[in-house]
Structure 1
Amino acid sequence: MQVDFYHLTIAPLDRLLPVIADRVMAGGGRLLIVSGDADQRAALDRQLWMIPAEGFLPHAQAGEGDDAAQPVLIAGEVQPTNGARHVALADGVWRDEALAFDRAFHFFDGDRIGEARTAWKALADREGVERRYWKQNDQGRWEQAA
């Protein structure tokens, strides 16, 4: 199980998350996007309709249609009713339920860095968990720092 920590410093989540979702889908996977904030879920829903510019990412918010048919599902809880094996924790809050997936993407900004550090340390001793820490360089490119 792999956990990727993404420290958002330059590019905002709404620019990075569609790229991640597109890559997951290109690999034949499904993604569950989790946020406890209803406003953030609505904003991400709108963003996924606009990016990528040459198309759209098929998705829905949980409970607004046939969840099981959605390659990308936006939800308030870690319940992969779309059969996702990848989860994106979009609100900066780590949830241990993410460990049941094949891969977790944990996005956080400066306001949540302390919580992210706590989660990073807690996962260090978990058997079968591979952690990666990604940060943006001065040009906005993502670099693996750990």
Structure 2
Amino acid sequence: MRVDFYQVGQDPVPEIVALLARNTLKAGERLLVVGEPDDLLDAIGEALWRAAPADSFLANGRTDQPHAARQPVLLSNRLDPANGARFCVLADGIWREPEGFERTFLVFDAATLDAARACWRMLGEREGLERHFWRQEGGRWVKAG
């Protein structure tokens, strides 16, 4: 399993999630986006609809809506990949044990920085887990750890 830590910088969380979703779909994978409160998921859903080029969009839906299993990007408040996703974004900066996922993205901000640091240390003690830390510098994402 791989865990990527994304520290919120100049871009808001919904825009970061949209970038991760676009790259995930390009890789041929499905994505589960987990977060609370519902307002955050609503904002992410809106960002996904307007994130792609004008001739396409990042289709998405909520777990509690019809056809959740068909959604390439599924928004939820729990770790339940009804769409068969192997990639997961924890959009609210709160770590949850993502069992069965190949890759997990933890997006965190100043309010969840200490928890993200503790999670980084905890995951560093696990065998067979690859972790990376990303932050924005000059509008670009750079690998910091």
Bucket of the pairwise TM-score, normalised by the shorter protein: over 0.9
Give the corresponding residue for 2:44: 44
Give the aligned residue type for 1:103: R
Superposed CA offset, 1:12-56 (max 9, x none): 112221111111111110000000211111111111111124221
Q: Distance in 2 between matches of 1:134 and 1:39?
A: 25
RMSD after superposition: 1.0
Give the corresponding residue for 2:34: 34
Q: Distance in 2 between matches of 1:2 and 1:67?
A: 25
Count of aligned positions: 144
Q: Distance in 1 between matches of 2:118 and 2:99?
A: 15
Indicate conservation of the 8 Å contact 2:133/2:144, yes or no: yes
Task: State the Cα distance separating 1:99 from its structure 2 match.
Answer: 4.3
Identity %: 38
Structure 1 unaligned runs (5+)? Answer: none
Give the aligned residue type for 1:89: L
- Partner-residue secondary structure (3-state), 2:36: coil
Q: Distance in 1 between matches of 2:52 and 2:13?
A: 14
Moved more, 57-66 or 45-54: 45-54
Task: State the Cα distance separating 1:108 from its structure 2 match.
Answer: 0.3
Indicate conservation of the 8 Å contact 2:61/2:75, yes or no: yes
Give the corresponding residue for 2:67: 66
Superposed CA offset, 1:78-105 (max 9, x none): 1101000000000110111x24310000
Give the corresponding residue for 1:145: 144
Give the aligned residue type for 2:119: A
* Match runs of 1:124-143 below 5 Å: 124-137=124-137, 139-143=138-142
After TM superposition, the score normalised by the length of structure 1 is 0.94
- Partner-residue secondary structure (3-state), 2:47: helix
Give the corresponding residue for 2:80: 79
Runs (4+) of structure 1 exceeding 2 A deviation are: none
Give the aligned residue type for 1:41: L
Q: Distance in 1 between matches of 2:82 and 2:50?
A: 24
Indicate conservation of the 8 Å contact 1:6/1:108, yes or no: yes
Task: State the Cα distance separating 1:75 from its structure 2 match.
Answer: 0.3
Q: Distance in 1 between matches of 2:67 and 2:48?
A: 18
